[in-house]
Structure 1
Amino acid sequence: MSFAAMLFLALLLDAAMGEPRWLWQRLPHPAVLMGRAVGWCDARFNHGAARKARGIAVMLALGLGALFLGGVLSQLPAPFQIVIAAILLAQRSLVDHVRAVAAGLRMGLPEGRRMVARIVSRDTAPMDETAVARSAIESGAENLSDGVIAPAFWFLILGLPGLLLYKITNTADSMIGYRTPRHQDFGWAAARFDDLLNWVPARLTAILIAAAHLRADIWPLIRRDAALHRSPNAGWPEAAMAPVLGVALAGPRSYDGRMQDFPFVHPEGRRTLDAADVEAACHALWRTWAVALGVVGVLALV
């Protein structure tokens, strides 16, 4: 069975099942195991001199280990590979987490803040309704790329080795790829490798969002606003999501008690947001997933 055919079935399985709580309450999720591996490396090697070299060596070891494990798992029958791929995709859980923010906002601002705190790292205590909604939409757009399109892309290219390589890299970036005194040097390789692996998928995500909404006209806006983001990749899905929803994203937000003045993405969009906008973003996530599924289905037939 081709990678495209297995990916098509894995996307459907993930959409149908998501992350069953009964299973992952009993077994550690593979993403949790990856996080433990990265955390162990951080505690064991992130000290002393030559931290950048140590970080490069750690990423090489983790990447080669992921490729080796993926190669071993690729010897399993196709149904097992499909299940593994579905576990490492995150469309259903992504939409569930974003939709929980909309449900929380309908119950009241405190509950909306509590729900959005599960999916963003910025300060949530000072957020008003618009900030909560905007944060949820931004997280949904970025994680559509990181959690769905990028792992699907690398599975399509390399099968399970590519998928595991991407997931360990993305996990490492999320844990140590920060410009902080502790991780500035040690996490440099993780951040740069994650940027490399996400370069194509991030732009592909923006194309898929626009295609799902029949909005070829927004490409100049996407190119204009994607460059406003600190990340070379995360700005692309945000810059596509904002105009299809007709809203402004990004803008000022607080981290660690300090307000930071980031530029707005699609500044001409509406700046007062609520739960209905978060729901609209969830619909956009599913529409984009459906287009991606169709593309993979065509590739499987070809």
Structure 2
Amino acid sequence: MSTALVLALAMVLDALVGEPRAIWDRVPHPAVLMGRVVGWFDRVLNDGGARRLKGFVAMAVMAAGAAILGMVLQVFGPLVELIVVTVLLAQRSLVTHVRAVAQALRLSVGEARRSVAMIVGRDTAAMDGPAVARAAIESAAENQSDGVIAPAFWFLIGGLPGLLLYKITNTADSMIGYRTPRHEAFGWAAARFDDLLNVIPARLTAGLIWLSHGMWAGFAAVRADARLHRSPNAGWPEAAMARVLGVALSGPRAYEGQMRDFPFVNAMGKRDIGPHEVEASCTTLWRSWGLGLALVLLLTLLG
């Protein structure tokens, strides 16, 4: 069975099944296990001097271990590959979490704040309705890149070693890749490696979002908006999502009690947004996913 065919089947299975709680309530999800590995290195090595070097060593060991594990798992054949890839894709769970924010917004801003806090890292206590909606849509765009397109891309490029290498790097970046006093030095290697691995997938995700809405011209505007973003990669899918929905994303937000005055992406877009726009972002997630699946099936047919 070809790598592309395995990926196509995994994408469909993930879309149909998602993450069954009956399983993950009993055994830890692989992403949880990866988080425990990253947490162990953080506790053991992130102390004293030479933290940047220690962080580099930790990231190198985790990356090598993930790649070796992928090589071992590949020996067991396509069925094991299919299971691993299905588990490590997150399309259905992403849509579920984003849609929950839209549903909560229809009830109250307080409910929506609690719901969006599950998928973003910023402060949510003082958010109004439009800020909650923006956060959910930004998370939808960024996480389709990180949780779906990038894992699929690296599986196509490097099989299970490539997929697991990407996932451990992305997990490390999400845990220690922040510019905080504790992690700025130790998490530097994880953050930079994650940036490198997401260069192509982030732009590919933006292209899928754009093309899945029948847009062929005007992508230069997405490129220009992406440059306004604080992240070298996350700005691409967010800029594409902002343009196809006609909304303004990013903008000022608070982290750890400190307000950051980030510029808006697609600043001329609608700012007074709510559950309707969040639901529209879920539709966009499925449209871009469908186009991605079509491309993978085309690769399957081409051998």
Structure 2 SS opposite 1:159:
helix
Distance 1:107 1:267 in 2: 28
2:44 match = 44
Contact 1:228 1:263 survives alignment (8 Å): yes
**Can you list the C-alpha shifts for 1:126-167, whole angstroms capped at 9, x where unaligned?**
111100101000000000000000000000111110000000
**2:249 aligned with 1:249, yes or no?**
yes
1:125 match = 125
CA displacement at 1:251 relative to structure 2: 0.7
**Can you list the C-alpha shifts for 1:68-120, whole angstroms capped at 9, x where unaligned?**
00000001121221011010000000000000000001111111111001001
1:293 match = 293
Query: After TM superposition, where is structure 1 displaced by more than 4 Å over at least 4 residues in a row?
Result: none
CA displacement at 1:49 relative to structure 2: 1.3
Distance 1:257 1:37 in 2: 29
Distance 1:13 1:46 in 2: 39
1:198 match = 198
Distance 2:216 2:126 in 1: 37
Between stretches 179-188 and 240-249, larger displacement belongs to: 179-188
* Counterpart residue identity of residue 171, structure 2: T
Distance 2:178 2:249 in 1: 22
2:155 match = 155
Distance 1:65 1:218 in 2: 43
* TM-score (structure 2 length as normaliser): 0.99
Distance 1:284 1:21 in 2: 26
CA displacement at 1:244 relative to structure 2: 0.2
Total equivalences in the alignment = 302
Distance 1:255 1:185 in 2: 19
2:80 match = 80
Q: Any residues of structure 2 matched to 1:164-243 within 5 Å, and which? A: 164-243=164-243
Structure 2 SS opposite 1:217:
coil
Distance 1:256 1:181 in 2: 12
Structure 2 SS opposite 1:269:
coil
* Counterpart residue identity of residue 141, structure 2: A
* Counterpart residue identity of residue 187, structure 1: G
Distance 2:152 2:49 in 1: 38
**2:18 aligned with 1:18, yes or no?**
yes
**2:91 aligned with 1:102, yes or no?**
no
Contact 1:254 1:260 survives alignment (8 Å): yes
* Counterpart residue identity of residue 301, structure 1: L
Distance 1:25 1:264 in 2: 39
Contact 1:218 1:243 survives alignment (8 Å): no
**Can you list the C-alpha shifts for 1:195-247, whole angstroms capped at 9, x where unaligned?**
00000000000111001001122301111110111111000000000010010
**Can you list the C-alpha shifts for 1:235-262, whole angstroms capped at 9, x where unaligned?**
0000000010010101111112222111
CA displacement at 1:295 relative to structure 2: 0.2
**Can you list the C-alpha shifts for 1:28-61, whole angstroms capped at 9, x where unaligned?**
0000000000000000011111111111111110
Contact 2:230 2:262 survives alignment (8 Å): no
Contact 1:218 1:240 survives alignment (8 Å): no
**2:4 aligned with 1:4, yes or no?**
yes
CA displacement at 1:267 relative to structure 2: 0.7
Structure 1 SS opposite 2:229:
coil
Q: Any residues of structure 2 matched to 1:20-35 within 5 Å, and which? A: 20-35=20-35
* Counterpart residue identity of residue 80, structure 1: V
* Counterpart residue identity of residue 133, structure 2: A
Identity of aligned residues (%): 63
CA displacement at 1:180 relative to structure 2: 1.1
**RMSD of Structure 2 on Structure 1 (CA):** 0.7
Distance 2:268 2:22 in 1: 45
Between stretches 2-11 and 216-225, larger displacement belongs to: 216-225
